[in-house]
Amino acid sequence: MSMLGKTFLARLSHNIAIAKMTEGGIPSSDSFGGVSVIMCGNFHQFPPVAVGASEPLYVPGNAQRDSTLSQVGRAIYEEFQTVVTLKQQIRVTDEVWRDFLRHLRMGRVQQHHLEMLRTLVLTNPSVTPPDFTSPPWAHACLVTPRHAVRQEWNHAAVYKQAHVTPGVVFECTAEDSIRGQPLSLVERYAFATRGSKGQHTGGGRKSDYQGRRHNNDLPDTIEISLGMLVMVTQNVETDLDITNGARGAIVDIVLHADEPPMTPIDGVVRLNYLDWTHVLYPWNLSAKAIASVTRRPKGRMPRAPSNGVNSQ
C-alpha cells in the first residue's frame, strides 16, 4: 500500500464499484462497491512515483490544494480502522541483519550496527573480500538504480559465462517493421535517431525516456549463452510460479531450423532468425511447476517474443 496514491485509490474504488453493479443498476455509494478490502504493506517502503508530494495515503488532505479525487482517496483510506501489526519476519533469516533492520526501522541504529555495515564494504582495507567465483557469491544478485550500469553488468555477465562454460554468445537483433513490412532506409534512420530530437525540459533530455517507453523498453539486441542466469520480468505462467522476479539458468538453446551453421566471430554468433527457444531451469520451483517441467521435453519453458510499438 506504500506505493498507492490517493487518486489511484479513489479510481480503484470507483472501478470496483462499477464491476459490482447489477444490470440496469447504478454504482454503489459504498467504497469498493461494498467489497471487503485488506490493504497490506508498510509506509517504510517507497512512496508512489510520478505523482505529487501530497499523493501518499499518509499525507493529510488539503481542500485548497488537493484535487477532488485525491480528497476522495484520502477519505477512503481513513475508512480503514482495523490495523493488524505483523511481527514475524519471514524474508530475512540472518539474525544480525534482522536486528539491524529492526533498529533502522525505528531510527535507533547503534554503533555496533555501523561497524557491521563497514565490514560489508569491499573497499574497506581491513576487510577480506569474498571469493566471487565460489558459492554463494558466484550467484549473488547485483542491484543498481542506474539503467546504464545494469546493461553493462548484464553484458559483462553474458561474456563471463561464455568464457567459463566455455561456449559462445548468441546475439539476436530485433526486427523492426511498419504494418508488417520491413523498414526502408529512411525509416531505419528515423528509428535509429529517435530520441535525439524532441522536447527538452529542465535541461534534461526527455525524448530518450519517451522513446524507450513507446518501445516498451525493448532492446535493439539481446545476448544469451548457455548457463547464464536470468530473471523473469513478465508473468509468463503464473500457475507455475514463472512470474515476474523468478530466477533461473539457461541450460539449452534451440535455434531456428533454417539457421545456417554457426561461424563464431570472436566468440559471438549472430542469429539470422528471431524464432529461437531457450530451455530455462527455474530455481525454487513449486511442486506443481516441477510436475509440469517434467512433462515438457527437457523441461522447456515457453518463450514468447515481445513486441514494442512506437507510434508517431
pLDDT in tens, the chain (312 residues): 888 999 999 999 999 999 988 888 887 889 999 999 999 887 777 888 888 889 999 999 999 999 999 999 999 999 999 999 887 777 788 999 999 988 998 889 999 999 999 999 988 998 888 888 888 887 788 888 888 888 898 899 899 888 888 889 998 887 777 887 888 888 888 877 775 544 443 443 344 444 444 455 567 788 888 888 888 777 666 666 667 777 778 888 888 888 888 888 888 988 888 766 666 666 554 444 444 444 444 444 445 445 444 433
CA dihedral over 98, 100, 101, 105, signed as positive or negative: positive
d(CA 245, CA 248): 10
| C-alpha distance from residue 231 to each of 74, 106, 188, 242, 245 (Å) | 36, 33, 31, 10, 6
61-64, Cβ contacts within 8 angstroms, sequence gap of 24 or more = 61/6
What are 271's three cell numbers? 542469429
Amino acid (1-letter code) at residue 168:
V
Q: Domain locations in the chain?
A: 6-77, 97-129, 131-174+218-312, 176-216
Give every strand in the sheet of 277-282, ordered side by side: 229-231, 247-254, 277-282
d(CA 278, CA 186): 34
